Amino acid sequence: MTKRISVLGSTGSIGENTLDIISRAPEGTYKVAALTANTSAKKLAEQAIAFDAEYVALADSSQSQILKAALAGTRIDIGIGPEALVDAASVQADFTMAAIMGAAGLEPTLAAVRQGNHVGLANKECLVCAGDHFMAEVKRHGTVLLPVDSEHNAIFQVLEEDPKGIRRLILTASGGPFREKTAECLKAVTRKDALAHPIWEMGEKISIDSATLMNKGLELIEASYLFNRPSADIDVIVHPQSIIHSMVEYIDGSVLAQLGSPDMRTPIAYAMGWPARVEAPVERLNFTKLSELTFFEPDLVCFPALRLAREALEAGGRAPNILNAANEIAVEAFLSEKVEFIQISQIVEQVLNTLSRSEGFAQADMSIDAILATDALARQTAHEHIVNLL
């Protein structure tokens, strides 16, 4: 039977890889229901035509004429504006890939969750910003939530086989491009340096998060909500080869791991096909050519973002949401070359310290309006701190 697929964030890295898997599948395997993009109107139109999408949504209204002109004469329905992303997520689909970057993906992903089908979660910010609310919606609607981040997908695969007797979850991190740098060297890091990830091909924002280790911090919070484990039960280790994607240690001392080439098409294919497995066009591991698998403790002095994320998780309440919002603004400022690399984590910590004194900080927001209000306050506070640095 043909599986209806929607891709939220189809012009990004995860979205393009999802469409790549669809394009290689036998005819009739998939039908593309909806595609969305933020600003990439031309690419969205090309995808919509190539995959015969039923509906497309573009968040940036200033690019709407480009999209409409490109799709003139087709039967593809078009939606414009942020609310159109929610409409796209509400289109009937058997599987929705939720790959809109950042907090902007929260409302569309929740709309997909409320359809009660299968959702591939590539947007970790949904759980970081609104973990309690988001997981409550998943449970309420009987949605099957399939993690797409390689680390969480690895743990999901292990726990599906053996979910009992867990001692701890172990998330692996590549360490980013600066894992061997000293704190002094990090002061001179440029935008170009930080975007040059040694293993993974990713978008700009997630590449910077990987360089600061904030990405692993966000994944730590995501893992806590996904697998219902406290911070104390989740460890992070640096594994430069990125062959072992994560591990689960059991109370008898056994450790089960998921291995594979560092290619996002593997976890994407797993999520799309679950509970079956589908073909993915990835390089197969040749164990005779693996010279070494090494592991290190993360350096929390040089990379304080991971510490900040763990502290935010343990503080609970609004702290994870504030952490994420402040980080998005700080990374944006770094990419615009307004602040230095080492100032990204400093800004995040300053915002957390400032807002930790605000009323209700320790209480989790349980409505979308409250979650978005906290997000807006944290962004405003981050902007104020950045202005003071200029």
174 is in an annotated binding site: yes
What would the pLDDT profile of 353-362 be if each residue is shown by its tens digit? 999 988 788 8
| Domains of the chain listed by start with CATH number | 3-147 (3.40.50.720), 149-261+282-306 (no CATH), 316-389 (1.10.1740.10)
**Does the predicted TM-score (pTM) go above 0.85?**
yes
234 three-class SS: strand
Would you state the pLDDT for residue 169? 99
b/e sequence 330-360, b meaning 16+ C-beta within 10 Å? bbbbbbeeebbbbbbbbbbbbbbebbeeeee
Would you state the pLDDT for residue 162? 82
6 three-class SS: strand
219 is in an annotated binding site: yes
Would you state the pLDDT for residue 276? 95
13 is in an annotated binding site: yes
14 is in an annotated binding site: yes
Got the DSSP string for 19-77? HHHHHHSPTTSEEEEEEEESS-HHHHHHHHHHTT-SEEEES-GGGHHHHHHHTTTS--E
Would you state the pLDDT for residue 123? 94
C-alpha dihedral (369, 101, 347, 211), degrees to nearest 10: 160
12 three-class SS: coil
Would you state the pLDDT for residue 150? 96
Q: What is the mean pLDDT of each run of 10 residues along the chain (390 residues)?
A: 97 97 96 98 98 98 97 97 98 98 94 97 95 97 98 96 93 93 89 85 89 97 98 98 97 97 96 95 93 95 97 96 97 97 98 91 86 96 94
Helix runs in 188-282, H state only? 191-195, 204-212, 214-227, 265-273
Would you state the pLDDT for residue 180? 86
324 is in an annotated binding site: no
Distance (Å, whole) CA 375 – CA 250:
37
197 is in an annotated binding site: yes
Estimate to the nearest angstrom the gap between the alpha carbon of 226 and the chain centroid: 13
215 is in an annotated binding site: yes
Q: What is the mean pLDDT of the chain?
A: 95
Element (H, E) at 172: strand 166-173
Would you state the pLDDT for residue 335? 97
Would you state the pLDDT for residue 196? 86
What would the pLDDT profile of 116-147 be if each residue is shown by its tens digit? 999 999 999 999 999 999 999 999 999 999 99
42 is in an annotated binding site: no
149 is in an annotated binding site: yes
367 is in an annotated binding site: no
CA proximity to 50, closest of 29, 76, 69: 76
Tokens of 42: 């031309």
